[in-house]
Structure 1
Amino acid sequence: MGYSYRDAGVDIQAGNEVVERIKPAVARTLRPEVLGGLGGFGGLFKLDLGKYPDPVLVSGTDGVGTKLRLAFQMNRHDSIGQDAVAMCVNDILVQGAEPLFFLDYLAVGKVAPERVAKVVGGVARGCEMAGCALIGGETAEMPGFYAEDEYDIAGFSVGVVNRNQLIDGSKIRVGDVLMGLPSTGLHSNGYSLARKVFEPYSLEEVFPELGEPLGEALLRPTRIYVQSILPLLQEGEVLGMAHITGGGLTDNVPRVLPAGLGVKIDTSAWDRPPIFTLLQRLGEVDWPEMYRTFNMGIGFVLIVRPEDVGAVSRKLADLGEKSFVIGSVVLGEGVSY
């Protein structure tokens, strides 16, 4: 009797079991525009041209990076999917786009249905938080390429904005104000450095400044800002936005500025989550390196006119969102602190 696909390490039946396990979670993300269900060769989505008569589609893709290593070490797989969603939908949100749908790609060494269902369940939960539909995905079993208990995940999101409501930063001027929205911690960036600094320590260790096990602080999922930001965009008060990912405030804020403009940031304007201070102290990391590697407690930045700060701040508060005035636009290039 010859070899089977299962003998080679690929279990089709286990993959089918995963599909059945995730169906309820996926169903909770569906929007009226979704046509069909799971199992097709492509996800179908009918764009609402009544709401978006002059649509511009905005797309984004990203992964979670070496934060996955912590999920493996802690055997915690229920939140990493939210990270994948957040990294994509927050990026397309920067241009004013409403996230419409999301697809995930999960590559595993061996399909363990319960673990895969937890990962995809986190993806679905993130989609619910972002208001977008999980309309498709792929779980690729790749024996010999990944270890049996390891995987990688990537996400792909598509959103839409009317052309006249695109936010591209072109209206930003000197004197405009930066407003920062808090992060939950490292989100999904800088983990290669963070893991190097914390390598000598147990993930179960409770540092006094954290008040919780180190692993819990490091694995906390990335915030999704969609529900706090989309309601703000109808009045035209927001001139530019930045998602603070790899490169930190130092590299991400200038991406939305017109040529010849920079920003001055007041780092005393918000309280840094203690994980950053601990990381800097134990690793003796230079502060400029910290601000160029990590979000330092600010996960999303808005740029508004000075006269609109009060109104935007009140609207954010009504939505349950904290905000801080963290700096201003100045002549020059880059970021100064």
Structure 2
Amino acid sequence: MADKMTYKQAGVDIHEAAELVGDINDLRARTESSRKLLQAFGMFAASYDLSDYKEPVIVTGCDGVGTKLEVQLKYDALESAGKDLVAMSVNDIITTGGDALMFLDYIGVGKIDKSKIQRLIGGMVEYLESCNCVLAGGETAEMPGIVPDGMIELSGFCIGAVEKPDLLDPKAVTPGDVVVGFASDGFHANGWSLVRRVIEANRSEFTDEEIVSLLAPTRLYHDVVAGVRAAGVKPHAMAHITGGGLIENHERFLGDMGAELEIPYWDNDAVQKVLAHTDDEDRFNTFNMGIGWTVIVPEADAEAVCAAGPGGTVIGRITDTKGVKVRVKG
């Protein structure tokens, strides 16, 4: 009779996975300094008490890091990947005018490497602490034969809430409104299939230091949203500039309106090396082009919004003609 097999012999070590949950709990607990889960961490589902809200509207979002993750793994930038994962979902949530309350992650690996996973979660925790969002749980899946050795699957999920009267409605946008843009910290986590192709085709032009600089994590814009709130301004809309760039991310809610945008030159040497090898028009539909967040307000509020966070500047106006047009100053 053949020897009977164990789960561990099949490539999955459930005891290692259980130990990992305990190992990361101290990291995770840092995200509960202010907001806290209603019940203990580690249950089958996380719960959050919304009684502090009078008319809570739940907002949700999920995202990943895309093919940027391949470069992050190659250059051992795991903390950066964790930060990207958080920012891509949290930024989407706060475009509503609400708060990011809880975040969950999914990590798929061929074999659990506790050190690497702890570093990923360490990056997540650093960002979650800064925006007062609780790491509520997640899933680490060990899948030998499905996820190749050395690779990681990564997804993030965020749950937020907003008071119903405070929920932003892009239908409030009108021609003549001002578009205030806030600087990005790089390509963020979008357009990396093109970035990777450019670097591979022109590898001799890029130093390792330049490539690592391109891995700067997606900027969190919770400080901008808090600053806008503190100024007493309710925007007509806010946009997180991701895949599709300034054009698509505005056209999705402008309907029959449009925008004329003039953005500053993107002063980043490594970024400009990449852009030199991209199509003059396609780049505006692929990258954030140096602007990762926009706030649309009446002209009277533009100055206050520009001061709401670092890198704020007026980049254009809403028009009554359908379509968004973008050009670089100068």
TM-score category, normalised to shorter length: over 0.9
- CA shift at 1:270, angstroms? 4.9
Q: Which residue of 1 aligns with 2:48?
A: 45
What does 1:118-137 correspond to in 2, within 5 Å?
118-137=119-138
After superposition, the C-alpha distances for 1:193-236 in whole angstroms (9 at most, x for unaligned) are: 11000014559943xxxxx7122122111111112213413624
Q: Which residue of 2 aligns with 1:148?
A: 149
Q: Where does structure 2 lack aligned partners over 5 or more consecutive residues?
A: none
Paired with 1:332 and 1:24, the residues of 2 have a C-alpha distance of: 53
Change (3 A) 1:28 1:43: same
Q: Which residue of 1 aligns with 2:241?
A: 244
**Could you tell me whether the CA contact under 8 Å between 1:98 and 1:230 is conserved in 2?**
no
**Could you tell me whether the CA contact under 8 Å between 2:93 and 2:160 is conserved in 1?**
yes
Q: Which residue of 2 aligns with 1:25?
A: 27
Q: Which residue of 2 aligns with 1:209?
A: none
After superposition, the C-alpha distances for 1:45-95 in whole angstroms (9 at most, x for unaligned) are: 111x33x20111110000111011012211231221110110001001111
Paired with 1:37 and 1:203, the residues of 2 have a C-alpha distance of: 52
What does 1:34-183 correspond to in 2, within 5 Å?
34-47=37-50, 49-50=51-52, 52-183=53-184
Q: Which residue of 1 aligns with 2:228?
A: 232
**AA of the residue aligned to 2:241:** I
**AA of the residue aligned to 1:330:** T
> Cα RMSD (Å) of the superposition?
1.8
Q: Which residue of 1 aligns with 2:283?
A: 290
Aligned residues: 322
Q: Which residue of 2 aligns with 1:16?
A: 18
Paired with 2:203 and 2:15, the residues of 1 have a C-alpha distance of: 38
**Could you tell me whether the CA contact under 8 Å between 1:184 and 1:273 is conserved in 2?**
no
Identity among equivalent pairs (%): 37
**Could you tell me whether the CA contact under 8 Å between 2:79 and 2:122 is conserved in 1?**
yes
2:170 is paired with a residue of what secondary structure? coil
Q: Which residue of 2 aligns with 1:215?
A: 211
- TM-score norm. by structure 2 comes to 0.92
**AA of the residue aligned to 2:318:** V
Paired with 2:71 and 2:134, the residues of 1 have a C-alpha distance of: 28
After superposition, the C-alpha distances for 1:257-294 in whole angstroms (9 at most, x for unaligned) are: 2x321000113x3544333321121x2x2221001000
* 1:273 correspondence with 2:268: yes
Moved more, 290-299 or 224-233: 224-233
Paired with 1:66 and 1:245, the residues of 2 have a C-alpha distance of: 14
**Could you tell me whether the CA contact under 8 Å between 1:242 and 1:256 is conserved in 2?**
no
**Could you tell me whether the CA contact under 8 Å between 1:237 and 1:312 is conserved in 2?**
no
- TM-score norm. by structure 1 comes to 0.91
* 1:330 correspondence with 2:326: no
